[in-house]
Amino acid sequence: MSENQEVDIIDEVISQDYKYGFSTDIEMETAPMGLSEEIVRYISAKKNEPEWLLEWRLKAYRYWLTLKEPTWQNFSYPKVNYQDIIFYAAPKQKITLDSLDQVDPELLKTFEKLGISLTEQKRLTGVAVDAVFDSVSIATTFKDQLKEKGVIFCAISEAVHEHPELVKKYLGSVVPTTDNYYAALNSAVFSDGSFVYIPKGVRCPMELSTYFRINAENTGQFERTLIIADDNSYVSYLEGCTAPMRDENQLHAAVVELITHDHAEIKYSTVQNWYPGDKEGKGGIYNFVTKRGICEGVHSKISWTQVETGSAITWKYPSCILKGDHSTGEFFSVAVTNNHQLADTGTKMVHIGKHTKSRIVSKGISAGKSHNSYRGLVKVNKKAEKSRNHTQCDSMLIGDRSGAHTFPYIEVNNNTSQVEHEASTSKIGEDQLFYCNQRGIGTEEAIGLIVNGFCKEVLNQLPMEFAVEAQKLLAVSLEGSVG
Amino acid sequence: MKLEENIKTEFHQYKNQAEENAFFQMREKAFAEFDKNGFPTIKNEEWKYTNLKSIFDKNFKSTCVSSANVKNLLVDSVFNSIKANKLVFVNGSFNPELSNIIEKDNAIVISNLAKARKENTNVFDAHFGKYAKIENESLNAMNMALMSDGAFVYVPSNKKVENPIIIMNVVDSTDINVLSQPRNLIVIEKNAEACIVESYISAGTNASFINVVNEIYVDENAHLEHYKIQQQTGESYQNNYTQIFQEANTNINQVTLTLDGTMVRNNLHFYMNGKNCDTLLYGLYITEGSNHVDNHTRVDHAMPNCHSNELYKGIMKDKSTAVFNGKIMVHLDAQKTNAYQRNQNILLDPEATINTKPQLEIFADDVKCTHGATVGQLDEEPMFYLRSRGIPEDVARKMLLNAFADDIAEKIKIPELVGLLEQLIEEKL
């Protein structure tokens, strides 16, 4: 392969445009711009929330006021002006849906463009989709089927009214309002999100999925997801998103909380492909998310899988608190950055219970002028006897102006646990390319094979339907090099 | 903050009698930096796992008095029988009687800083204070402001120092809680070769705090062997900052052995300023009681085609804590860099702790960098192998631990010394 060819392909890869960029014109009902105690009250009133939740929000808001934006991350970004953000936007259309026919055709078209038409999904895949369009859930499918099993899958604003005891018990129990700057902000202004409760002994009959979309201009999206798996239950939850082109930066500060009881398991998969900004790094989404799960019961398990290809800045650490004895935490991640994108992602595994296990596999690919950081913590407490962790993080560099960084923190406080960490960083293998070329495989295809193979370990963790989409999204970010 | 007060008082005393010259200005600038930042706290990311608070409340004072014990201590040390050039510093002051220079070539300067400042002005001015930065490094600034004396080694082009140079730092706290601040400057010119050993031992029953700064300049094609052997006993605290500045085609082998000390913090920094540098850095730390050892290393690959290999091993006993923070920085355009880093730890007791942070920061694409860290116990397989051959468990365990540790000690290229050090390690384990 000549060097020029390679350069061409890399250029092509780097010059790929964002394919899912479009915006839908739907009449929106929005809150006044800016953030104040009135706005928090406005959001709460709009949602017709009970008094305790308003108080909870206000407490979070007041705490947020005392905080400063964190500065320890491995990147810098222009300061977010919270007075320029609309904290609440809902499609004006009145929503009482029994079937999809009542949905605004504009909306349906948007979903079709994204290739996730609700009808298609419903008919072909058997996936129940709770589509979040901006901040209000507009359609929930397969509800009856889930109801039969006793599974609760609804918008969190609905759950507040219908299952207040559950929401009150678990909301903020994993990510408290005082956790960090963005979690406090989210707690104060969260607009909507998903709520899942799997009762004892139930294996959720289908994969639950929510598609997020940020649509209205100037709307920060503050999602709040709460998933509870009771004893001996299992659920697989998918979260995926694409967002239309915007010029100014949009802030997304979601909070996800997972709770597993004895012998329960939650599998949480994410495909994220928000608008990454243009080639000069202008625009794009700030994705500052707090995701954390707690393995409350014995032999419980939480597994995070993420494919991060979008956003101007991705800054998140899906974490597991392994509290129950013999509990397991897993984290599988692929993060692809291109042009001026920045990603600072990783996980925290906190071993508290005895015989707890965790596994981390992180793959970073940086191209163009982007920077990709892995930052992770493995903490083994004194009482977490015989705990085990294995961490592997590999980075691949494409282009000489990209960067890959690794910041692992390992803290071990007892002598019966074993912790292993390994990391490597390298360029796309010239030997491998040569090997493929020699056997008649074109360079483009070869790069595809290599990158695909590099991420396989993680992509294999995704549920079938998502694996396809994940590959598509990798292709958008690195087309020409991913088959 | 008793220590901070003492530092300020001492600096003002010094200021009143100091001459107004360039050297004084450097000290004054450093003091201003120290005054501005104060001591680092655990809120500082670089000091996250090492809390210096217990040091700062103690009444440490500088002194140049030394007791008669020091001589006996040197006789007992592992270095006594080694044929070498010896420079002895007691509480940071040069002791000519105990020192012994056997090198015959007069062009090679093995001396102390205070003397070199007057006699080797050109070399001193060109290199002193140029490598160890004081900005946001309060302890470096504190050393610069009040440093007493230290070793000065100058090896001119094409020369080879035949015998090792041992810089023996003795902290003698017989009378008071002593603060010692030596500073060493080592300049190895083109095609030259040297082997330098830093040793740290202590006498006396009061507390001691030694705050050392080493600046080492290695010019093109030169070769340096650099060893650091830390064996301070009693209530002893050490902060050791070493900045090694490498030009093209240099070759460095560095070994750090931390065998004792209440609190030891090592900052070991390499900066590769030319192509084709080869740097090997090894470390071994054995901690016991409630001791705390913190090794911070940083390798800056600023130029292409350089190679670095790092291996640090630790054995933690009792309630002791060890910290490892290794950082590899590959700068923009430092293509064809190969950098490896490994940190292996064995925790022997339930209350021992290890915090390890192996970091990579890479800004070039054509590189091969890996790092790994492990925390665990002795391997079961070799244990089984030995036991199946009739070796009792405790003997087998000792053999394996010794093998684990000696791996590092053997990187020292003074055969007589390796044997003695291995004995010491065996006793410790």
Interval B296-350: pLDDT, tens: 999 999 999 999 999 999 999 999 999 999 999 999 889 999 999 999 999 999 9
Domain assignment present for B312: no
- Residue A196 pairs with which residues in a beta bridge? A153, A227
Average pLDDT over chain B, rounded to whole?
Answer: 91
pLDDT at B76 over 90: no
Residue predicted with more confidence, B410 or A33: B410
Q: Is B366 on the interface with A (CB under 8 A)?
A: yes
Question: B234 and B209 in contact (C-beta within 8 Å)?
Answer: no
- pLDDT score for A135: 44
Does residue B316 lie in a domain region? no
Exposed, middle or buried, B380 (CB in 10 Å: 0-12/13-18/19+)? Answer: exposed
Nearest residue to B92 (alpha-carbon basis) of B111, B74, B112: B112
Q: Does residue B1 fall inside a structural domain?
A: yes
Number of neighbouring beta carbons within 10 Å of residue B176? 17
Instruction: Give the pLDDT confidence score for residue A157 in this predicted structure.
Output: 84
- Contact present, A138 and A91 (Cβ < 8 Å): yes
Which structure tokens are listed for B30? 């450093």
Judge whether residue B293 has pLDDT over 90.
yes
Q: How far, rounded to the nearest angstrom, does the alpha carbon of residue B8 sit from its chain's CA centroid?
A: 26
Residues A395 and A409 sit within 8 Å (Cβ to Cβ) = no
Buried b (16+ CB within 10 A) or exposed e, B106-124: eebbbbbbeebbeebeebb
Report d(CA B343, CA B322) in Å as an integer: 12
Interface test with B, best of A74, A360, A393, A425 (most B CBs within 10 A): A425
Residue B101 lies in a domain: yes
Share of chain A above pLDDT 70, in %: 74
The Cα A101–Cα A301 span in angstroms is 39
> Which of A403, A411, A427 faces B366 most closely, judged by CB atoms?
A427
Of A174, A129, A164, the C-alpha closest to A323 is A174
Q: Which helix (H) or strand (E) holds A183?
A: helix A181-189
Given an 8 Å threshold on Cβ–Cβ distance, is B355 in contact with A410? yes
Asked whether the predicted pLDDT for residue A106 surpasses 90, the reply is no
**What is d(CA B233, CA B208) in angstroms, rounded to the nearest whole number?**
10
Full residue range of the structural domain in which residue B218 is found = 1-244
Residues 299-318 of A with CB under 8 A from B: none
Per-residue DSSP letter, A83: G
User: Is residue B199 included in any domain, yes or no?
Assistant: yes
The overall average pLDDT reported for chain A is 79
Nearest chain B residue to A422 by CA distance is B372
Would you state the pLDDT for residue A145?
74
The arithmetic mean of pLDDT across residues A90-116, rounded, is 52
pLDDT band of A356, cuts 50, 70, 90:
very high
Task: For A368-403, write each residue's pLDDT tens digit.
Answer: 888 999 999 999 999 999 999 999 999 988 878 888
Mean pLDDT confidence for B79-90: 91
A206-232 pLDDT tens trace: 788 765 444 444 455 788 899 999 999
Q: How many CB pairs under 8 A join A and B?
A: 113
B-chain residues within 8 Å CB-CB of A405? Answer: 359-362
Residue A264 has pLDDT above 80, yes or no: yes
Q: Quick one: closest CA in A to B374, which residue? A: A420
**pLDDT (mean) for B48-70:** 84
- Look-up: residue for tokens 């499609």? A91
The rounded percent of chain A whose pLDDT value lies above 90 is 35
pLDDT recorded at residue A217: 46
Interface contact flag, B375 A412, Cβ < 8 Å: yes
Structure tokens at A436: 């493929």
The pLDDT score that the predictor gives to residue A133 is 52
Among the partner-chain residues A402, A407, A419, the one whose CB lies closest to the CB of B359 is: A407
Q: Do B377 and A416 touch (CB under 8 A)?
A: yes
Tokens 């739907």 label which residue?
A: A26
Tokens of B70: 């020091």
| Position A141 pLDDT exceeds 70 | no
Q: Higher confidence at residue A12 or residue B327?
A: B327
User: Above 90 in pLDDT, residue B155?
Assistant: yes
What residues of B are in contact with residue A412 (Cβ under 8 Å)? 345, 347, 353-355, 375
Residue B224 lies in a domain: yes
The span from the CA of B70 to the CA of B98, in Å, is: 9
A445 - beta bridge partners? none
Q: What is the pLDDT of residues A43-56, one digit of tens each?
A: 888 888 899 999 99
Give Cβ neighbours of residue B410 (< 8 Å, ≥ 6 apart).
B418
| Cβ pair A425:B369 closer than 8 A | yes
Axis-axis angle for helices A181-189, A51-66 (nearest 10): 150
B113 near B107, Cβ under 8 Å?
Answer: no
Considering only CA atoms, which of B205, B194, B231 is closest in space to residue B78?
B231
Using a CB–CB cutoff of 8 Å, tell me whether A383 touches chain B.
Answer: no
The pTM assigned to this predicted structure is 0.86
Residue B59 within any structural domain of the chain:
yes
Out of A16-30, A174-188, A451-465, the most confident range is: A174-188
Tell me how many helices (H) and strands (E) chain B has: 10, 21
Residue-level length of chain A: 483
Q: What is the pLDDT confidence band of residue B143, given thresholds at 50, 70 and 90?
A: very high
**CA distance linking residue B9 with residue B11, whole number of Å:** 5
Model ipTM?
0.86
Helices A37-46, A51-66: axis angle to 10 degrees equals: 150
Total tally of structural domains belonging to chain B: 1
Q: How is A88-138 classified by DSSP, letter by letter?
A: -EEESS----SSGGGS-HHHHHHHHHTT--HHHIIIII--EEEEEETTEEE
Interface of B with A in 370-409 (CB under 8 A): 370-377
Residue A212 has a pLDDT of 47
Residue A3, min C-alpha distance to chain B (Å):
14
Question: Which of A97-101, A199-203, A335-339 is least confident?
Answer: A97-101
